[in-house]
Structure 1
Amino acid sequence: MKVEFQTPNRREYQNKKLEQGVYRFTANRPWTDEWKRQNDKARRPVVVEPIRDWNFFRGDRVEVLVGRDRGKHGIVSQVIQERNWIFVAGLNTHLRRVGSRQEGSAGFYVKSEAPLLVTNQVALVDPSDNKTTKVEWRFTEDGERVRVSLRTGRIIPLPPSGFETWDYKTPETYLEGDKDTKADVVKAVNFRPTLKTFEMEIMESMGIIEHRVPKKSYWY
Structure 2
Amino acid sequence: MTSRSKTSKLAATPTKLKLRKGDQVQVLSGKDRGQTGVIMRVLPKDDKVIVEGVNVAKKHQRQTQARIKGGIIDKDMPISASAVALICSKDGPTRVGYRINDDGTKTRICRKCGKEI
TM range (shorter): 0.7 to 0.9
Aligned-residue identity in percent: 28
Q: Does 1:80 align with 2:51?
A: no
For 2:106, give the aligned amino acid.
Answer: R
2:13–2:45 contact (8 Å) kept in structure 1: no
The 5 Å alignment of 1:1-220 reads 48=12, 50-51=14-15, 53-99=16-62, 108-119=71-82, 121-129=83-91, 131-156=92-117
Deviation at 1:90, TM superposition (A): 1.4
Deviation at 1:49, TM superposition (A): 5.7
Give the Cα–Cα distance (whole angstroms) in 2 for the partners of residues 82 and 135 of structure 1. Answer: 19
1:48–1:84 contact (8 Å) kept in structure 2: no
How many residues of Structure 1 are paired with residues of Structure 2 in the alignment?
A: 103
Larger RCO, structure (CA 8 Å, separation 6 or more): 2
Tell me which protein shows more helix as a share of its residues: 1
1:67–1:92 contact (8 Å) kept in structure 2: no
User: For 1:35-84, what per-residue CA distance to the aligned partner results, in whole angstroms no more than 9, with x for missing partners?
Assistant: xxxxxxxxxx7964642x42111100111123332111100011111111
For 2:84, give the aligned amino acid.
Answer: V
Q: TM-score, normalised by structure 2?
A: 0.75
User: For 1:171-192, what per-residue CA distance to the aligned partner results, in whole angstroms no more than 9, with x for missing partners?
Assistant: xxxxxxxxxxxxxxxxxxxxxx
Give the Cα–Cα distance (whole angstroms) in 1 for the partners of residues 37 and 101 of structure 2. Answer: 28
Tell me which protein shows more strand as a share of its residues: 2
CA RMSD of aligned residues (A): 2.2
Give the Cα–Cα distance (whole angstroms) in 2 for the partners of residues 145 and 96 of structure 1. Answer: 41
Q: Secondary structure at the match of 1:67?
A: coil
Give the Cα–Cα distance (whole angstroms) in 1 for the partners of residues 71 and 107 of structure 2. Answer: 45
Gaps of 5+ in 1: 1-44, 101-106, 157-220
Q: Secondary structure at the match of 1:78?
A: strand
Q: TM-score, normalised by structure 1?
A: 0.42
1:168 corresponds to: none
2:6 corresponds to: none
2:17–2:47 contact (8 Å) kept in structure 1: no
Deviation at 1:125, TM superposition (A): 1.2
